Structure 1
Amino acid sequence: MTNNAGRTPSEAELELRSLMSKAIRDFMEERGITQQQVADRLGRSQGYVSQHTNGRSNPGSDIIAAVATLAGLAPRSFMVEVTERMMR
């Protein structure tokens, strides 16, 4: 699997992607936020959101901002929550 720069991600990058995706996915499940809601907010497909919340692609700022907004949180507060989840 290569990234946008055309290189294979390191093990550390893959681990971080996996941890972040899982933390975001778990947060969404606990808050009742669906991939389709995030997709609708972004004007993207549910498949696009799935790639970013299932560890196949890095969750970008668009995903983070959409989930935070749907949860009623500022992006900074959401990232604190995600980071704390990643540390568990």
Structure 2
Amino acid sequence: MVPNPSRFLRNVLPGIGGCLHGASCTYDNTVDEDFIIDTLPGRPDTLLITGLSGHGFKFAPVLGEIASQFAQGEASSFNLAPFSLARFNA
């Protein structure tokens, strides 16, 4: 972790502009470090996609396809069993 990223970047990239906006957030990690892709308990009409822990953006195309199929009432073309919320009840 770079303690002062702005100073570091100015040293590495002379002439770089200042940061216009910054924010910090927490990762949504799961205990087993895998995604949760499932419906909410008691709400079969609501898809839950979480536990992406900061790297979910790399999976945006496939997660979008899963969400699109769900929204259209289609069965997923992917095996989502490993990502079931119920796996934490075992």
Tell me the TM-score normalised to structure 1 length. 0.24
Which structure's residues are more often helix, by fraction? 1
Which structure's residues are more often strand, by fraction? 2
Instruction: Look at both structures and tell me which one has the larger radius of gyration over its CA atoms.
Output: 2
Higher relative contact order (CA 8 A, sep 6+): 1
